[in-house]
Structure 1
């Protein structure tokens, strides 16, 4: 499947809202819920604007994984970019209809090759719940190494790290 990663823009608001709403139950099987307010369009729009403001400041990059028809298949983000330390925190998710088809692995590989070099990071951190085997495989396939485990009240998280080659 041919995919690309596009930088998030305000023009994606409606499509992204539909993607998130359509996949809510699927996402909440493997990650903590974003809460009911997230799925109300006005609240979602304000949140989106806050993300775009962060992106404009250079402290985050928000990408959409799209197919050749321009449909949103998922998201891939690098947030909390600490420029002095050269560290950023990765997040990604693909929709239920594309899960298990290699889209997340392909998207992460593309993201690392095409977008990360412009983001001035040396280390990318990621975490996933211990039972999200698919996400763990995506990270390992793309060179991330596990380094820690964190227990929270509801979920246990595995932490991964990738040293970016310059």
Structure 2
């Protein structure tokens, strides 16, 4: 099982390879990142690390033993105890349950490490795999919307309340 790692500066080459290798695959279900993303990847990576250092976002990669990135799981727009969840798994790693395992790990981190009390998510109506992951991990549908990250396709929005870790049980 790949390790979930918080985004670091040294992840840049493997992350870029992951994004390039899966660009067409991802574009089938979410808006393509565009050529500028790849042309200015190093600057974008540095900007993400700065957002993470400021506590605005929490970026994570699923990394195989050899250092290959096979997935991303991100918490963005952190504010008031809440954040938006996003995830993507490499085409060659899809169907192995990695997204479900990674989202479950992020749920624990969100509550215990980042102090979050709820997460929001969205998936295109026709993205049955992502919708199944969200349902399996306890997200509840909250409505329908045109989702920005899906190229304006209709989607379903979700929410997941997080359990607060217990502080202690004794006197």
- Normalised to the residue count of structure 1, the TM-score between the two structures is 0.92
Q: Measure how far apart 1:115 and its partner are.
A: 4.9
Unpaired runs of 5+ residues, structure 1, are none
CA contact (8 A) 1:3 1:107 kept: no
Aligned Cα RMSD in Å?
1.3
Which residue pairs with 2:114 in the alignment? 119
The match for 2:94 among 95, 99, 121 is: 99
Q: Which residue of 2 aligns with 1:30?
A: 29
For residues 4 and 21 of structure 2, the distance between their equivalents in structure 1, rounded to whole angstroms, comes to: 20
Q: Deviations over 1:88-136 (max 9, x none)?
A: 0101100000011111011111222245421111110001111100000
**Residue 49 in structure 1 maps to residue 46 in structure 2:** yes
Secondary structure of the residue aligned to 1:147 is strand
Other structure's SS at 1:165 match: coil
Alignment partner of 1:162 out of 136, 148, 160: 160
Structure 1 pair 115/67, CA: closer, same or farther in 2 (3 Å)?
farther
Task: State the match for 1:68 in structure 2.
Answer: 65
Partner SS for 1:30 = coil
Distance 1:114 1:121 in 2: 9
Instruction: Find the partner of 1:88 among 83, 91, 94.
Output: 83
Q: Which has the larger radius of gyration?
A: 2
In the TM superposition, structure 1's runs of 4+ consecutive aligned residues that sit over 4 Å from their partners are none
Q: Deviations over 1:2-28 (max 9, x none)?
A: 122101011011110011000000000
CA distance in 2 between counterparts of 1:75 and 1:125 reads: 16
Q: What is the aligned length? A: 161
User: Does residue 131 of structure 1 match 2:126?
Assistant: yes
Q: TM-score, normalised by structure 2?
A: 0.89
- Please tell me whether the aligned partners of residues 26 and 96 of structure 1 are also in contact (alpha carbons under 8 angstroms): yes
